[in-house]
Structure 1
Amino acid sequence: MDDRDELRAWLIALRTPGLGPGGLRERLDAADGDIGKAVAQLQRHAAALGEPAQAWLAQPDEALLATDQAWLAEPSHRLLRCTEADFPPQLENIPQPPAALFVVGDASLLLYPQVAIVGARSASASGLVHARAFARALAQAGFAITSGMADGIDGAAHAAALDASAATLAVIATGPDRVYPRKHHALAQRIAAHGVLISEFPPGTAARADHFPRRNRIIAGLSLGTLVIEAGLRSGSLITARLAAEQGREVFALPGSIHNPLARGCHRLIRDGARLVESAAEIIETLAPAARMLGRELAARLQTEAGDEATRELVAKSGAGSSRDRFGYGEYTEYCGLLSELGYDAVTLDELVQRTGQSAAALSSMLLMLELDARIESLPGNRYQRLPDAD
């Protein structure tokens, strides 16, 4: 099966009514990952899925498939499939993991250590300030900021990460060609250009109430931890937090005034076991072991699957090329150069920007990985120092 036929088979499967990601993954497992064989099996047993699926599999809508293919042919558009080496491993163990994701932007960002920041759409002025501050601090520490591009807290967190020239990921509840809410059209363009938009829904899919919980499980699944900033007792952010907890991820909640209705959801989370946090430093310290584990898993996965040229390029890009290094960056040139520039005297981030010519966001990410691997230590005043045994 050539690439074009394979893509067509994937699109047919993803649009099959009543199948869902779990059903598609089951068929893929039975077909040893061959989507062509999986679709053939679906066609043979289509009656079990009901009349809509039977009609679709017997005669797919060619105009609809052509629209999907035209969208995917655009620059920076991609269908990221669970059978590919760079499909995010952190999604493999969530309930109903997606079989494929429609991606706009830099798909490699899905492999970054991420923190989800979610909260009320009708956030207060102070809530928006907190969202921006936490997003900026976490981004400067090297974490990518993940959210749902909703109004309020979500949008503020995305914008703060972009303003800090850091990575941000938006998981949306529509097709990848639609923007919801419409007021975030400019924000969506910024995220597509400097981050990544992600959807498990095909192009043309409109927003529906049941799509948002499905989106939330991906937000929680991609992230090492979820921070909730302002949420009412009926907030969808509580769904994200619950899913994160069920997936074994950390849940953080920012406390607020007892007189603020938007603090009640956070207070309930704290009573139910979420971590009360007052600073980004608490989140960074808590998530360090999880970031280390993700780095190991990713390095091992990419190293195992580095059989073709595309995957070798991905290994090089991710720095996952050396098994002797816990984070996989090994002899990666940029990390070695950064260690060299650090020397053994304390140096500020601004000085490193001048010495290396790299952005503060890129350096912050590298410094986080080096610190987690006990190669450097961070000091007050946004300063860093190389440890004596970091050779």
Structure 2
Amino acid sequence: MSQLEDWLALTAIPQVGGVKVSRLLQHGTPTQLRAMSTDQLMSLGLSRSQIALFRVPHQARIDRCLMWAEQNDNTILTLDSPYYPTLLKQIAAAPPVLFVCGQVEYLSAPQLAIVGSRAASIDGRESAYDFAGALVAGNYVVTSGLALGVDGQAHSGALKHGGATLAVLGSGLSQIYPARHRGLAAKIKEQGALVSEFWPDEKPRPQNFPRRNRVISGLSVGVLVIEAAEKSGSLITARYALEQGREVFALPGSIRHPESRGCNALIKSGAKLVETPVDIFEEVGALTECAINSQLSQTLPQGEDQQLPFPALLATVGNEATPVDVVAERSEQPVHEVMMQLLELELLGFVTSVPGGYIKTRRGKS
């Protein structure tokens, strides 16, 4: 068997979850584990029946999986793959295998997750759409769970604004759920990727979605929750994010709205209250710099005589703090575009962020 087949055989062992797989991998690669004696594997916690299925798995199922991977845009990533996302690899019980349909390179790009209620209000759906547009303008990939409501609007907002988005599923990638989002999933595949730790033919099951949620947060540097009931999957994602050391953001809502109680509770527990995308960028700006710095170094001219970038916008920033909305008004540009340009100007040393907005640096003065 190939090394990939060894990985699949390991993940196919019955009643062996992510935690147990992680412990097994501390003792060797799947190929090395399969070469161990029965006594050695039993000492690692496997039963005789599990060992038998590890050594002689259901080959037809593995063959179907390998055939799936041969189709265009389909990829199987293992923990030792160079394309396996570093952030996700760092979480407890990281998925040993990821199935990806689309552009696999986006899994390693800086990501911000947007999650929320399936029964979101009009305001909640609009907020998800608008925030996603602003985040992709800041060179983040927007990650969510393809669910109805907030998730779907977050994916759509990212796509509409020309950005990339990842959809993490609680089913196999041949079993798109919900069915209503099959068309959206097809668009995501072209402008991002569909991701799952479940085998392609796995149907959506209730127990899959908490596992899906830990992958959403694990891939991301932060999670924005937009409308969530007191007991909801979105709060599970937020809890995973905290456990994984990720930033948690929440939009406040009316105390009379049941779908706002979860967000309000998160804020009371320490999540950052968010009113504009700038509130998010203030917390994760260093990662934004990592995301766009390489692009800037390749596209901007070098030398002392280079022209000032975005001169019209730069002219609206002075020696006193200028809020982003004022810069947008003066330059007659959308806020999300202004934020992107200000971030690039800050990286280049033309402006600097201060309490209350931005000021021009010496380099930015003509």
- Which TM-score band (shorter chain)? 0.7 to 0.9
**Which residues of 2 match residues 175-324 of structure 1 at below 5 A?**
175-292=172-289, 295=290
Is this contact kept in 2: 1:232–1:264, CA < 8 A? yes
* Distance change in 2, residues 1:83/1:375 (3 Å): farther
Shift of the alpha carbon at 1:333? 3.1
Match of 1:36 in 2: 31
Q: Deviations over 1:83-139 (max 9, x none)?
A: 122321111332211222111111111111111100000111111011111111111
In the alignment, structure 1 residue 172 sits paired with structure 2 residue 169: yes
Taking only the aligned residue pairs, the percentage that are identical comes to 36
The match for 2:18 among 11, 18, 21 is 21
Q: Deviations over 1:10-37 (max 9, x none)?
A: 2111212222233333333322xx4311
**Which residues of 2 match residues 315-354 of structure 1 at below 5 A?**
329=294, 333-334=298-299, 343-344=308-309, 346=311
Match of 1:82 in 2: 79
In the alignment, structure 1 residue 388 sits paired with structure 2 residue 353: no
Question: Aligned with 2:249: secondary structure?
Answer: strand
In the alignment, structure 1 residue 122 sits paired with structure 2 residue 116: no
Q: Deviations over 1:337-375 (max 9, x none)?
A: 8x99863561569xxxxxxxxxxxxx9999687456444
Match of 1:102 in 2: 99
In the alignment, structure 1 residue 144 sits paired with structure 2 residue 110: no
Match of 2:151 in 1: 154
Larger C-alpha radius of gyration, 1 or 2?
A: 2
Equivalent-residue separation in structure 1 for 2:279 and 2:134 (angstroms): 11
* Distance change in 2, residues 1:60/1:344 (3 Å): closer
Q: Deviations over 1:122-181 (max 9, x none)?
A: 111111011111111111121110101111000000011011110101111111221111
Shift of the alpha carbon at 1:254? 0.6
Equivalent-residue separation in structure 2 for 1:171 and 1:104 (angstroms): 11
Q: Deviations over 1:61-87 (max 9, x none)?
A: 121111001000011111112212232
Shift of the alpha carbon at 1:56? 1.9
Q: Deviations over 1:210-236 (max 9, x none)?
A: 111111111111111111111111111
Q: Deviations over 1:280-327 (max 9, x none)?
A: 1111121113445xx4xxxxxxxxxxxxxxxxxxxxxx99xxxxxxx5
Match of 2:322 in 1: none
How many residues are treated as equivalent by the alignment?
335
Equivalent-residue separation in structure 1 for 2:168 and 2:351 (angstroms): 33
**Which residues of 2 match residues 41-56 of structure 1 at below 5 A?**
41=36, 48-50=45-47, 53-56=50-53
Is this contact kept in 1: 2:168–2:195, CA < 8 A? yes
* Distance change in 2, residues 1:344/1:234 (3 Å): closer
Equivalent-residue separation in structure 1 for 2:86 and 2:341 (angstroms): 23
Question: Aligned with 1:388: secondary structure?
Answer: helix
Match of 2:132 in 1: 135
* Distance change in 2, residues 1:154/1:209 (3 Å): same
Match of 2:323 in 1: none
Which amino acid in structure 1 is aligned with residue 81 of structure 2?
E
Equivalent-residue separation in structure 1 for 2:21 and 2:109 (angstroms): 26
* Distance change in 2, residues 1:373/1:38 (3 Å): farther
* Distance change in 2, residues 1:343/1:24 (3 Å): same
Which amino acid in structure 2 is aligned with residue 285 of structure 1?
E
Which amino acid in structure 2 is aligned with residue 35 of structure 1?
P
Equivalent-residue separation in structure 2 for 1:340 and 1:44 (angstroms): 72
Which of 86-95 and 195-204 deviates more? 86-95
Equivalent-residue separation in structure 2 for 1:166 and 1:224 (angstroms): 17
Is this contact kept in 2: 1:143–1:365, CA < 8 A? no
Equivalent-residue separation in structure 2 for 1:371 and 1:35 (angstroms): 48
Equivalent-residue separation in structure 2 for 1:291 and 1:176 (angstroms): 30
Is this contact kept in 2: 1:343–1:386, CA < 8 A? no
* Distance change in 2, residues 1:141/1:59 (3 Å): same
Q: Which segments of 5 or more consecutive residues in structure 2 lack a partner in the other structure?
A: 315-336, 354-359
The TM-score normalised by the length of structure 1 is 0.76
Match of 1:311 in 2: none
Equivalent-residue separation in structure 1 for 2:116 and 2:37 (angstroms): 40
Equivalent-residue separation in structure 2 for 1:340 and 1:210 (angstroms): 60
Equivalent-residue separation in structure 2 for 1:372 and 1:246 (angstroms): 32
The TM-score normalised by the length of structure 2 is 0.81
* Distance change in 2, residues 1:368/1:331 (3 Å): closer
